[in-house]
Structure 1
Amino acid sequence: MISAVHPEAAIAAEVGERAVTVAQVDAREAALRAGPLAARLPHPHSAEGRNLRRWLVQVLVTEALIEQEAAARGLAAPDDGDAPTSLTLTAALRTGGVVAAVTASMPLARVLRRAVTAGVGVGEREVRAYYDRNLDRYTRPESRHVSRVEGASLGRVRRGELPGPLEAAVFAAGEGEVAGPVDGPGGPWTVRVEGVDPGGRVPFETVREEIAAELTALAVERAFARWLERRAAERVRLRHGFEHPADPQHSDATHRH
């Protein structure tokens, strides 16, 4: 829990009328250093170690902010087994590591995200534009299902996966035809083309729902991150020494330009 402000406590940050204490930062760091990633963490007295503590303050104030905003809306964490999900690099890069980390590990954050971003979506024009910009993603290459005569199946083979002469023979043959003998790895090969997949472009209608879901998820992540950033600017006050790791006001600042 995030404690109420106490004049005698060492404070790292304030979120509205509540405080994140230095003791809480210490406890979160100690838990990390006692965990499976301890060997990868920076030395506590290095610049990276100090920035680790600043990052932990960002996590703690984000958790406190989410608790406050959820309480103001009468929202509660689900009791139906909504377990934490794995934090992926993609999610971290999309939303900023702190938001992604907290959202992945805190069911209440996901409840709040759904409430805040209920109206977020993407239009048909945006979905179609994404498809048109990424036609290579929705184009299947020509392939052959190949097996060696009196030998093992090679499975599905695409252009560029076989040596030149062997590939030329395979892709010149039709379904059910035998190609070879032709030079291949280790000597002559004779192969049978068991099936032909001409490839081609996947129709927009086939992948429309997939694209819409992907773009909507991205829009939701970004909208929630921006909303949290605005609320943090209004409610969060960081104490000296616990600034954001990228804040240029401290000597350990990262992401300098």
Structure 2
Amino acid sequence: MRRDVPAREAEIAALVGERVMTVAEVDHRLRLLRSGPLAARLPAPGTAEGRNLRRWLVQVMVAEILAGQEAARLGLPSEPSEPSEPFGSTTLAPPIEPSASPVRSGRPAPPRVAEDTARAVLTLAGALRTGGVAAAVLATAPAARAVCRALTAESTPSEEDARDYYRRNLDRFTTPETRWVRPFGPVRRGEMTGPLEDAVFAAREGETVGPVGGPGGPWTLVVERIEAARREPYEAVRALVRAELAEREGERAFARWLDARQAGCVRLTPGHEHPADPAQPDAGHRH
């Protein structure tokens, strides 16, 4: 990004084409972020990390503006059915409630390709594919998603690529054996430990086991029902796999487009550089 800045730069955070993004706008978004539910996890103001948080938020805001400009230029339809809240105004995921039982949280879920492709979610995998700024904007800005779709409107994954993805990710389309255990509910291997898991998965359907030692125990358990492991055949998930591959290619295309557009028409004032810019004084990675 070019660093030549206009006059009155003290009031300007960035120039995005003809659009002036003011310091006041950045301050407002930062206040939203610091007053939100994740405030306690953010670096303290006045520290190098706190200043880099501000720099990173500026990059997200710039990307939102660029996406909005491109969507308007292309005449892309909006997404009125989807609420659009700018990054930093709300939490992106609900908190995880602790469980009182010895069954571990985060049990594997059945295939979720349809759900994953139906809504935009900020995930670590998405950030690793596209970079954190692009992933954040795609998760929160309908204009960015519209541009993303437009960039790959004429591109579709091949049948060979879809089948290869299915073969390499069979775990995503496999539901492991599930045992319905009273009083825990549905349990899969790896969600219990030691003697409890051994007893539950050695039992027959309808059998009572215990007392068995374990956290908060001993426990007497009833294996009420056993559901065998199953795998979705390729034909049943083919359309969903192709849709996900198309979405991922769109994300990568959007990230490339965003990099090029930022380099061509964005000017940042001092203090609002990218956190990874080695020329800024708080850069944490140097050679």
Question: TM-score, normalization: structure 1?
Answer: 0.73
CA distance in 2, matches of 1:29, 1:143: 45
Residue 278 of structure 2: SS of its match in structure 1?
A: coil
User: Is this contact kept in 1: 2:174–2:232, CA < 8 A?
Assistant: yes
Equivalent of 2:142, from 98, 107, 124?
107
Residue in 1 aligned with 2:103? Answer: none
User: Is this contact kept in 2: 1:95–1:221, CA < 8 A?
Assistant: yes
Residue 249 of structure 2: SS of its match in structure 1?
A: helix
Identify if the C-alpha distance between structure 1 residues 44 and 206 changes in structure 2 by more than 3 Å, giving closer, same or farther.
same
Deviation at 1:183, TM superposition (A): 7.1
Q: What does 1:72-91 align with in structure 2 at a 5 Å threshold?
A: 72-75=73-76, 77-78=78-79, 80-84=80-84, 86=92, 87-90=121-124, 91=126
Residue in 2 aligned with 1:132? Answer: 167
Taking only the aligned residue pairs, the percentage that are identical comes to 53
Identify if the C-alpha distance between structure 1 residues 179 and 104 changes in structure 2 by more than 3 Å, giving closer, same or farther.
closer
Identify if the C-alpha distance between structure 1 residues 251 and 217 changes in structure 2 by more than 3 Å, giving closer, same or farther.
same
Deviation at 1:58, TM superposition (A): 0.6
Higher CA-based Rg: 1
Unpaired stretches in structure 2, ≥5 consecutive residues: 86-91, 93-120
Q: What does 1:210-221 align with in structure 2 at a 5 Å threshold?
A: 210-221=240-251
- 2:270 corresponds to 1:240: yes
Equivalent of 2:252, from 196, 202, 222?
222
CA distance in 2, matches of 1:143, 1:104: 33
Identify if the C-alpha distance between structure 1 residues 197 and 32 changes in structure 2 by more than 3 Å, giving closer, same or farther.
closer
Residue in 2 aligned with 1:149? Answer: none
CA distance in 1, matches of 2:77, 2:266: 22
Residue in 2 aligned with 1:185? Answer: 212
Q: What does 1:11-90 align with in structure 2 at a 5 Å threshold?
A: 11-75=12-76, 77-78=78-79, 80-84=80-84, 86=92, 87-90=121-124
Deviation at 1:45, TM superposition (A): 1.3
User: Is this contact kept in 2: 1:140–1:201, CA < 8 A?
Assistant: yes
Residues 85-143 of structure 1, C-alpha deviations (whole Å, 9 max, x = no match): 75433344433222232233322222322222312331111111112112344344456
Tell me which protein shows more strand as a share of its residues. 1
In structure 2, give the amino acid aligned to 1:120.
S
Identify if the C-alpha distance between structure 1 residues 77 and 9 changes in structure 2 by more than 3 Å, giving closer, same or farther.
farther
Residue in 2 aligned with 1:117? Answer: 152
Identify if the C-alpha distance between structure 1 residues 136 and 256 changes in structure 2 by more than 3 Å, giving closer, same or farther.
farther
Question: TM-score, normalization: structure 2?
Answer: 0.66
Residue in 1 aligned with 2:237? Answer: 207
In structure 2, give the amino acid aligned to 1:89.
T
User: Is this contact kept in 2: 1:13–1:237, CA < 8 A?
Assistant: yes
Q: What does 1:146-161 align with in structure 2 at a 5 Å threshold?
A: none
Residue 14 of structure 1: SS of its match in structure 2?
A: strand
In structure 2, give the amino acid aligned to 1:14.
L
Identify if the C-alpha distance between structure 1 residues 256 and 219 changes in structure 2 by more than 3 Å, giving closer, same or farther.
farther
CA distance in 1, matches of 2:189, 2:44: 50
CA distance in 2, matches of 1:232, 1:165: 59
- The number of residues matched between the two structures is 239
Identify if the C-alpha distance between structure 1 residues 136 and 243 changes in structure 2 by more than 3 Å, giving closer, same or farther.
same
CA distance in 2, matches of 1:54, 1:65: 17
